[in-house]
C-alpha cells in the first residue's frame, strides 16, 4: 500500500518501519447514516429472521436441523478459504468412511465443526470475549495447515493480505501493526458486550471489524464467520442456531471481499451492512425451505414405515437427518440399543428404500439416506449483485 499517514472517521493509516502503510480501524460503532434503504433492508432482514424463528418453534425438536446445518456451514466457510471438501465427504468421513478428498482439507473442516460446537457450548458459561475467540482459534488450527502460526494466540508480528507469495509492499490490505492490535481488540471486545444496536447490525459490524483487525497469523476469515453465529446466538434472536451466512458469502465471494475492503478504504459501512443484511434474508429463506423439505421427507419416510413396529426404525430414522451416513454400530451407540436391534432397524429402512448401503465393505458397513443428503446439498438461488456492489480494487483479502 502506498498511501501515506491519514486519519478519518473510519480509522487511520500508520507508517510501518519498512515504509508500508497499515490500517488501524476506529472503534465501533461507526457514525452510520440510517437512510431509507438501510432501514428498509434491516426491516426485511428482521422479518426474515422472524419467519425463521417461527419455523423453528413449529417443530417439537428443532435440534435435528442444527447438526446438518452446522456442518454445511463448516464446509462452505472453509471453502471460502480454498478447501475442496464437500458436505457429502465430511458426513461420510465422520461416519467412518474413507473418502478421496485431501486429508488436510478434511481435517480443516472437521476442526471448524469442533470450534463452532465448542463455542456454542462455551456460551453457556462464558460471554463472547477475546478469551473465547482465542480458544476457538486454537481448536480451529490444531494439527492442520497453519498450526505453526501460534494457534490460540494473537499475532505479535505484522501480517498482510494479497496474492499468494506477495511481498508486504504489494499487499492489497495491511492490518494494524502488532503494537496497535491489542488496543483494537480491546475496543472490539467492549463493542461485543454493548447490546445497544439491533442484533443483526451488531453482528455485521463486529464481523467486518474483526476482519479489519486480522488478529491471527492464519484462520482469521473462518474465526470471523464463527463470530457471526455466536453473536446471533448470544443475542437470542432465534430459538436455535439455525442461521448461517457462509453459503451467501461463498456464492458472492468477490462482493464479500470487496465490501470488507471498502470498509477499510472508504468507511463504506452502510454498503457493507446492506450486503450483510441481504445475506441474512437469503439464508433465512434458505433455512426455512430446507427445514420444510426435511419435514416433508420425514413424513414420507414415516408413511413408508406404517405398520413396522419392531426394531425401533422411527428413532433410527431421525438420526439420518442429523447425518445421512450411519453405521449399525454408530446407531446402536447413539440410541443406546443393542447392535442386533440397530441392525434390524436399518434393514427395515433399507427395505423401505430410505437408506442404501455405501460401498462393498463386509465390516462396519455404512448406510446413506440419499434423499436427505440431496436436501442438504441442493443449491439455492444465487445472490445477485446489488446496485451498490463495490468495484474490486486489487487482489481480494
Distance, CA of 136 to CA of 129 (rounded, Å): 11
**Alpha carbon 396 to chain centroid distance?**
19
251 and 324 share one domain: no
165 and 205 share one domain: yes
119 and 95 share one domain: yes
What residue has cell string 455405501? Answer: 358
Residue 297 lies in a domain: yes
345 and 202 share one domain: no
153 and 70 share one domain: yes
116 and 82 share one domain: yes
Residue 150, phi-psi category: left (phi > 0), alpha (psi -120 to 50), beta (remainder): left
222 and 367 share one domain: no
Last residue of a domain, one of 226, 261, 287: 287
261 and 306 share one domain: no
pLDDT at 364: 80
Residue 46 lies in a domain: no
Q: How buried is 326 (Cβ within 10 angstroms: 0-12 exposed, 13-18 middle, 19+ buried)?
A: buried
Strands 325-327 and 21-25: unpaired
Query: What's the whole-model pTM score?
Result: 0.92
Residue 76 lies in a domain: yes
Beta carbons within 10 angstroms of residue 185's beta carbon: 18
CATH of the domain at 332: 1.10.10.10
CATH of the domain at 112: 1.10.3290.10
All 3 cell numbers of residue 145?
Answer: 495447515
Distance, CA of 41 to CA of 366 (rounded, Å): 45
Q: Based on the structure, what is the number of domains in the chain?
A: 2
> Who contacts 200 (Cβ-Cβ below 8 Å, separation ≥6)?
42, 45, 46, 49, 232, 237, 276, 277, 280
Give pLDDT tens digits along the chain (397 positions).
334 456 677 899 998 777 789 999 999 999 999 999 999 999 999 999 999 999 998 888 888 899 999 999 999 999 999 898 999 999 999 998 877 666 889 999 999 999 999 999 999 999 999 999 999 999 999 998 766 779 999 999 999 998 888 889 889 999 999 999 999 999 999 999 999 999 999 999 999 999 999 999 999 999 999 999 999 999 999 888 999 999 999 999 999 999 999 999 999 999 999 999 999 999 999 999 999 999 999 999 999 988 766 657 778 888 998 899 999 999 999 999 999 999 999 999 999 999 999 976 667 889 999 999 999 999 865 665 555 665 544 333 4
Domain boundaries, position 356: 289-377
C-alpha distances out from residue 355 to 61, 95, 323, Å: 22, 14, 12
296 and 335 share one domain: yes
Residue 200 lies in a domain: yes
Amino acid at each position: 500500500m502506498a498511501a501515506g499517514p491519514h486519519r478519518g472517521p473510519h480509522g487511520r493509516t500508520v507508517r510501518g518501519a519498512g515504509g508500508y502503510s497499515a490500517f488501524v480501524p476506529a472503534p465501533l460503532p461507526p457514525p452510520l447514516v440510517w437512510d431509507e434503504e438501510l432501514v428498509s433492508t434491516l426491516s426485511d432482514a428482521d422479518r426474515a429472521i422472524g419467519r425463521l424463528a417461527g419455523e423453528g418453534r413449529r417443530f417439537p425438536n428443532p435440534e435435528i436441523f442444527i447438526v446438518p446445518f452446522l456442518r454445511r456451514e463448516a464446509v462452505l466457510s472453509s471453502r471460502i478459504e480454498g478447501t475442496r471438501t464437500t458436505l457429502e465427504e465430511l458426513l461420510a468421513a465422520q461416519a467412518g468412511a474413507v473418502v478421496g478428498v485431501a486429508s488436510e482439507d478434511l481435517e480443516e473442516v472437521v476442526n471448524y465443526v469442533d470450534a463452532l460446537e465448542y463455542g456454542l457450548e462455551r456460551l453457556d458459561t462464558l460471554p463472547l470475549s477475546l478469551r473465547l475467540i482465542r480458544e476457538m482459534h486454537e481448536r480451529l488450527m490444531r494439527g492442520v495447515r497453519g498450526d505453526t502460526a501460534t494457534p490460540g494466540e494473537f499475532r505479535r508480528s505484522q501480517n498482510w493480505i494479497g496474492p499468494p507469495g506477495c511481498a508486504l509492499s504489494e499487499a492489497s490490505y495491511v492490518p494494524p501493526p502488532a503494537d496497535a492490535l491489542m488496543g483494537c481488540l480491546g475496543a472490539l471486545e467492549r463493542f461485543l458486550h454493548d447490546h445497544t444496536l439491533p442484533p443483526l447490525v451488531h453482528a455485521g459490524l463486529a464481523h467486518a471489524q474483526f476482519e479489519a483487525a486480522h488478529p491471527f497469523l492464519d484462520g482469521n476469515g473462518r474465526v470471523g464467520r464463527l463470530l457471526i453465529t455466536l453473536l446471533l446466538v448470544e443475542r437470542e434472536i432465534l430459538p436455535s442456531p439455525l442461521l448461517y451466512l457462509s453459503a451467501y458469502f461463498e456464492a458472492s465471494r468477490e462482493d464479500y471481499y470487496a465490501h470488507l475492503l471498502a470498509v477499510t478504504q472508504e468507511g463504506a459501512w452502510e454498503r457493507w451492512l446492506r450486503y450483510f443484511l441481504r445475506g441474512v434474508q437469503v439464508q433465512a429463506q434458505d433455512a426455512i425451505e430446507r427445514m420444510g423439505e426435511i419435514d416433508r421427507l420425514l413424513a414420507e419416510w414415516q408413511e413408508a414405515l406404517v405398520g413396522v413396529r419392531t426394531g425401533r426404525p422411527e428413532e433410527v430414522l431421525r438420526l439420518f437427518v442429523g447425518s445421512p451416513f450411519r453405521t449399525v454400530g454408530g446407531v446402536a451407540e447413539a440410541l443406546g440399543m443393542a447392535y442386533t436391534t440397530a441392525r434390524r432397524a436399518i434393514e427395515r429402512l433399507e427395505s423401505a428404500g430410505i437408506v442404501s448401503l455405501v460401498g462393498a465393505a463386509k465390516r462396519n458397513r455404512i448406510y446413506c439416506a440419499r434423499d436427505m443428503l440431496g436436501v442438504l446439498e441442493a443449491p439455492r438461488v444465487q445472490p445477485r449483485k446489488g446496485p451498490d456492489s463495490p468495484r474490486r480494487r486489487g487482489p481480494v483479502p
